[in-house]
Amino acid sequence: MMLLSQTLCLCLALALSNAAPTLHDVMMAGPLDHGHDHHKDEAHHNANPDRCDGIEFDAITPDEKGNTFFFKGDHLWKGFTGPAQVSNASFKELDDYHHLGHIDAAFRMHNKEKPEDHDHIYVFLDNKVFSYYNHNLEEGYPKDIQLDFPGVPSHLDAAVECPKGECTSDSVLFFKGEEVYNYDIATQSVKERQWAHLPNCTSAFRWLEQYYCFHGHNFTRFHPVSGEVNGAYPKDARHYFMRCPNFGHGGEAKVPKCSEVTLDAITSDDSGKTYAFTGHIYMRLDTHRDGKHAFPIARTWKEVTNGVDAVFSYSDKIYIIKGDQVYIYKSAAPSTLIEGYPKSLKEELGIEGPVNAAFVCADHHIVHIIQGKKMQDIDLSATPRIVAREAPLPISGIEAGTCGPDGIKVFVGSEYYHYESPRLLAFSRIRPEPKKITPEMMGCVE
């Protein structure tokens, strides 16, 4: 199987103006593409600040479409490339209420229980808060911060949203000096704490369920519940969150062609997160607003260091098969290995390895295990787990499989075959026409 460790992991991404940055520490990724020198473009705007000079951002937030805005003084940058522009070109009403020298903090609301607030941008300035949607100021704003966020102080330094599952409940983390205020959106309660090991944040940013505290021209990644910092931090933001000359990692790399993409495994968990695996990396396929990006497998499932053979999701858990071992993790972030694992395939599923592919359909208890040209069905609700049914397959060389609302996809090289159900896959003797992996699926190029 062709492994794309040097291509996929660099950035199977959307155009950088709308996608997220390449983060070396979480992606093992190369630099942002320097085919065009945007630093020179920015230099043409002499009156504008240049983020490649190593400036300190006032606030960072995505909007409802996933565009990320970096604020500094009365300017902002849209996305991770390109020149600065005045802030009131995108958020016009800010200057109507205050001569905009800066903003204090901003975040994108995550509150699906209240659609009228969800995905709105909240901007904080002195003791006021502004609520924007589609870059239009909502009626009744600005307001005193205390009216919308009781217990949260004025003159903030930073803010970032924290959805339930990553925090205990849908929350917002507000930073002021050494204090962190955890604001529970539903109860409007505030818990105040200090994270002495975290630098004072001047802006904060959530990207692909990871949290970043910006301070000076550096950033530190932290856990949103404990404030814990793991890894070698701080890091210079110019290497990761913007395109700058003489910064970046990994040399000149190109997005791979779709005909070069092969998969070892693919699965969707119960929350709708979709993961594709190849070699020692994986990629989230459901992060449409943040782009498609690849990461080392061990970043999320730290005990799995040498790739995977098959992966499937069942009952809020992710099963990872490698060789004759099964690793079971909790699906919710952070992924935690279930105590007592890994276990042998024989002990867990009643079969011997190796396994080529595996998948479970939603609301079903059967895992379909593909080994060579046969498929074995194992009832995950039974004890002990044994093979309940075995059938020959009309296709050889299957390397990955998944079951979704539109049926079954089994992947062979850079192509896949579509079946309406596992039964048709097992018993059909007419092989359908193969379909090609597309840019929309994997972020590759034709």
Written as one string, the DSSP assignment of 187-251 is TTEEEEEE-TTSPPPSEEEEETTEEEEEETTEEEEE-TTT----SS--EEGGGTSS--TT--SS-
DSSP 269: -
CA–CA gap between residue 251 and residue 245 (Å, rounded): 12
In the Cβ-directed half-sphere of 262, how many Cα atoms lie within 13 Å? 15
Structure tokens at 34: 């320097």
Q: Which long-range contacts (CB under 8 A, 24 or more apart) does 68-75 make?
A: 68/20, 68/205, 68/207, 69/106, 70/203, 70/241, 70/242, 71/102, 71/103, 71/106, 71/203, 72/102, 73/49, 73/101, 73/102, 74/100, 74/101, 74/102, 75/48, 75/49
- How far are the Cα atoms of 56, 89, 304, 314, 357 from residue 271, in angstroms, in the given order? 36, 37, 22, 11, 21
Q: β-strands 136-137, 158-162: how paired?
A: unpaired
Q: What angle do CA 352, 385, 303 make, to 5 degrees?
A: 60
Sign for the pseudo-dihedral over CA of 48, 49, 53, 59: negative
What is the Cα–Cα distance from 51 to 274, expressed in whole angstroms?
34
Measured CA to CA, the distance from residue 57 to residue 49 in angstroms comes to: 11
**Rounded-to-5 percentages of helix, strand, coil across the chain:** 10, 35, 55
293 belongs to an annotated ligand binding site:
yes
Rounded Cα distance, 272 and 280, in Å: 22
Chain-centroid distance, C-alpha 147 = 32
C-alpha triplet 33, 75, 126: angle, nearest 5°: 130
C-beta of residue 94 within 8 angstroms of C-beta of residue 88: yes
**Which residues sit opposite 196 in a β-bridge?**
none
3-state secondary structure of 429: coil
- Cis preceding linkage at 153, omega within 30: no
Binding residues: 249, 293
Binding residues for heme: 249, 293
